[in-house]
């Protein structure tokens, strides 16, 4: 059984649905039901007795883009764990790119970041290269960057606080840095943070890191370790946007790619291309009356 939930532009919805159904049927995907959810009015649910998720998603992409969607094999429920990437997911910036601007190197650093997030560069190598370019930068630039540049994504706090209220543990796991992630987590309501640490000496960045790095393997391992604490049968939600989030997204019950790079979107079973982070609540079927605004 496949269950697809979809948020799309309401105009011409019935005509687009008919075309999508026809494409699904040509691909051998039968539709048992397609209707708007009474308890979450902007969300349509499509039920299929078949198991070809790829063909179903292809039809949704062909006829409804831009969309927010989730395809699962069971009725979505409130997860026990929410684990999320930070940069370009919970916040609207890439912290190291913005910090690079204070060193006069934003364009150079951002180009490396983009290639790493697209999956074109080894993440660890790209991280060490970017951090090395910041050697000698005063730590006061971090505080100034955080205050002046870093802003939460729309809906981020509502998503985190609503899930927490409903009994979900919240973890922020980032290939970025505790200098940024700790205050962001406190602002948004995350209970635990996993991230990298700049090496600092005499009030300046040395161009190195303290300890190991948080890469895609660590993100997935963090998810699995947190899930082990919750016991068998627990469900989890993960959100991310880049190639280094893919193993985490694939390991989650609901892996939702948020305005993501193509490789991350393809790997996830959920996606938000159209709305803000409150779309995740709608896709899970959490009524707006339960949201923490």
**Which residues are identified as catalytic?**
85, 87
Q: How many CA atoms lie within 13 A of 219 on its CB side?
A: 30
**DSSP output for 218-241:** HHHHHHHHHHHHH-TT--EEEEE-
Separation of alpha carbons 37 and 129, rounded Å: 48
DSSP-derived pairing of the beta strands 236-240 and 192-201: unpaired
Number of neighbouring beta carbons within 10 Å of residue 149: 17
Separation of alpha carbons 91 and 37, rounded Å: 30
Separation of alpha carbons 32 and 36, rounded Å: 14
Separation of alpha carbons 81 and 35, rounded Å: 28
Which residues is 137 bridged to in the sheet? Answer: none
DSSP-derived pairing of the beta strands 254-258 and 236-240: parallel
Separation of alpha carbons 175 and 95, rounded Å: 10
DSSP state of 203: T
* Cα 151 off chain centre by: 16
**Best CA proximity match to 260, nearest among 239, 280, 278:** 239
């Amino acid at each position: 059984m496949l269950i697809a939930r979809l948020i799309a532009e309401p105009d011409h919805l019935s005509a687009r649905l008919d075309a999508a159904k026809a494409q699904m049927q040509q691909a051998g995907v039968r539709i048992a039901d397609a209707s708007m959810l009474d308890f979450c009015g902007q969300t349509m649910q499509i039920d299929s007795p078949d198991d070809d998720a790829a063909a179903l998603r292809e039809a949704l992409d062909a006829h409804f883009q831009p969309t927010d969607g989730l395809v699962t094999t069971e009725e979505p429920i409130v997860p026990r764990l929410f684990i999320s990437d930070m940069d370009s997911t919970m916040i609207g910036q890439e912290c190291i790119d913005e910090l690079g601007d204070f060193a006069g190197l934003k364009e150079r650093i951002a180009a490396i970041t983009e290639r790493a997030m697209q999956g074109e560069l080894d993440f660890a190598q790209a991280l060490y290269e970017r951090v090395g370019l910041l050697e000698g930068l005063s730590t006061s630039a971090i505080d100034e960057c955080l205050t002046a540049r870093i802003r939460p994504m729309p809906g981020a706090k509502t998503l985190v606080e609503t899930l927490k209220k409903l009994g979900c543990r919240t973890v922020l796991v980032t290939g970025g840095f505790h200098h940024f992630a700790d205050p962001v987590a406190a602002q948004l309501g995350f209970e635990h943070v996993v991230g990298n640490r700049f090496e600092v000496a005499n009030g300046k960045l040395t161009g190195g890191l303290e300890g190991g790095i948080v890469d895609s393997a660590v993100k997935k391992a963090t998810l699995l370790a947190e899930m082990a604490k919750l016991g068998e049968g627990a469900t989890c939600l993960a959100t991310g946007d880049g190639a280094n989030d893919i193993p985490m997204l694939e390991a989650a019950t609901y892996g939702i790619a948020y305005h993501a790079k193509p490789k991350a979107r393809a790997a996830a079973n959920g996606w938000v291309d159209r709305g803000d982070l409150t779309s995740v609540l709608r896709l899970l079927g959490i009524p707006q009356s339960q949201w923490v605004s």
